[in-house]
Chains A and B, each alone.
Chain A
Amino acid sequence: MLTIKNLKSRVEEKEILQGINLNVKPGEVHAIMGPNGSGKSTLASVLAGREEYEVTGGEVLFNGEDMLAMSPEDRARKGLFLAFQYPVEIQGVTNANFLKTAVNEVRKSKGLAPLDSKDFLVIMKEKMKLVEMDKAMTQRSVNEGFSGGEKKRNEVFQMAMLEPTLAVLDETDSGLDIDALRIVANGVNALRSKERSFIVITHYQRLLDYIVPDFVHVLYKGKIVKSGTKELALELEEKGYDWIKDEVDGVKA
């Protein structure tokens, strides 16, 4: 599904990713944790193809294809979805209109006919239930005036509509209260399948109580310095990140 080999990236003059290796198979959920500034969100941005992030080395294969050579929209059309840490507001464009455009672009790239309004509404109604979204929210401008929780729910709703094969969730839990967290996690869990993989980027273990990962990786100073199963997340919750920093930096705790 996704193979990342020795990926390096910098923003402006700063090296952020210093050789990431990661292999994600279909249906797997990988959590990426790490202290602030370790490169978690940079990894999400590089995968999605944000221009400001210059790739200085390594490669990324998405279903065998060179993903770094693709435009951001081609990556999306081939099944990559990024749930943004800070979803963007688009004034005057309704959520429904935005999504219809997006869904039909993806369909077009697969040689499928566009959905007409009636079919689109039927699908939208069904997916809205996943994140307990009401109809009014689809008629509001994209993310405009949404609360933090509504924005994150809207990201998961968009994911449900676009049916990606690989979803990257960038700190989807940040700024959520416990009820919103539960709704978002339920939505994500409902979308888990044998074919669909997830990379869940989070600072806290809390989200992983709800979205249980197959693997947990710790990112520090732009590298994955430790990998394990969900027990690793619990250990981090208990002991913090310092012991890992000490291990990597070679300092006695």
Chain B
Amino acid sequence: MWRDTFPYLEVNNRTATVEHEATTSKVGEDQIFYCNQRGISTEDAVGLIVNGYCKEVFNQLPMEFAVEAQKLLAISLEGSVG
């Protein structure tokens, strides 16, 4: 999953701790298989899993950012599974 990504993060904050997903873990293959076994396609499963993961983060953001972030996520997930 996403093996062709090139992890690159530009951080302009001296105190921030940032990790790139592709360098630290693979999007849970067990989770995807669990979704597949319930009839959910891999593309939809990735959307569901990533949204769920991000939702917990978005819940911490002010409302206007949260809405924006949800929209961006929906766009960036389209066709990202290949």
Residues of A near any B CB (own CB < 8 A): 48-51, 71-73, 75-77, 81-82, 84, 87-93, 97-99, 101-102, 105-106, 109, 141, 158, 162
| Least Cβ–Cβ distance between A104 and chain B, in angstroms | 9
For residue B49, which residues in chain A have a CB less than 8 angstroms away from its CB? 90, 93
Binds A, one of B8-16, B18-26, B37-45, B66-74: B37-45
Are A76 and B30 in touch, CB under 8 angstroms?
A: no
Query: Within the assembled complex, what's the spacing in Å between the Cα atoms of A83 and B7?
Result: 37
Rounded to whole Å, the gap between the CB of A211 and the closest CB of chain B is: 21
A106–B39 CB distance below 8 A: yes
Closest-CB distance, A74 to chain B (whole angstroms):
9
B56→A76 contact, CB < 8 A: no
Q: Which residues of B contact A48 (CB under 8 A)?
A: 33, 37
Residue from A73, A89, A90 within 8 A of B39 (CB atoms): A73
B51 touches A93 (CB 8 A): yes
Q: Is the interface of B mostly helix, strand, loop or mixed?
A: helix
Q: Which 6 A-B pairs have the closest CB atoms?
A: A92-B52, A93-B52, A102-B38, A72-B36, A88-B34, A76-B39
Taking a contact as CB atoms under 8 Å apart, the answer to whether B48 and A93 are in contact is: yes
- Contact present for B55 and A92 (CB under 8 Å): yes
Chain B contact residues, CB within 8 Å of chain A: 28-31, 33-42, 44, 48-49, 51-56
Closest Cβ neighbor of A72 among chain B residues:
B36
**CB of A85, distance to nearest CB on chain B (Å):** 12
Q: Is the CB of A102 within 8 A of B56?
A: no
Residues of A within 8 A of B33 (CB): 48, 50-51, 72, 88
Q: How distant is the Cα of A162 from the Cα of B28 in the complex, in angstroms?
A: 23
Question: Among B37, B40, B54, B55, which residue has its beta carbon within 8 angstroms of that of A82?
Answer: B37
For B28, the closest partner residue in chain A by CB is A88
Q: How far is the CA of A123 from the CA of B28 in the complex (A)?
A: 30
Q: Does B40 lie within 8 Å of A101, measured CB to CB? A: yes
Complex interface: chain B residues within 8 A of A73 (CB): 36-37, 39-42
- B44 and A101 contacting across the interface, CB-CB below 8 Å: yes
Q: Which B residues are in CB contact (< 8 Å) with A106?
A: 39
Q: How far is the CB of A40 from chain B (nearest CB, A)?
A: 17
**Cβ distance B45 to chain A, nearest Cβ, rounded Å:** 9
Q: Is the CB of B52 within 8 A of A109?
A: no
Residues of chain B lying within 8 A (CB to CB) of residue A84: 34, 37
Min Cβ gap B61→A in Å is 14
Q: In the complex, are the beta carbons of B39 and A88 less than 8 A apart?
A: no
Query: Are A98's CB and B48's CB within 8 A?
Result: yes
Q: Say yes or no: A92 contacts B51, CB within 8 Å.
A: yes
Known interface pairs A73-B36, A99-B38; 13 further A-B residue pairs with C-beta atoms within 8 A, sorted by A's residue number: A48-B33, A49-B36, A87-B34, A90-B31, A90-B34, A92-B53, A98-B48, A101-B48, A102-B39, A102-B40, A105-B39, A109-B39, A158-B38
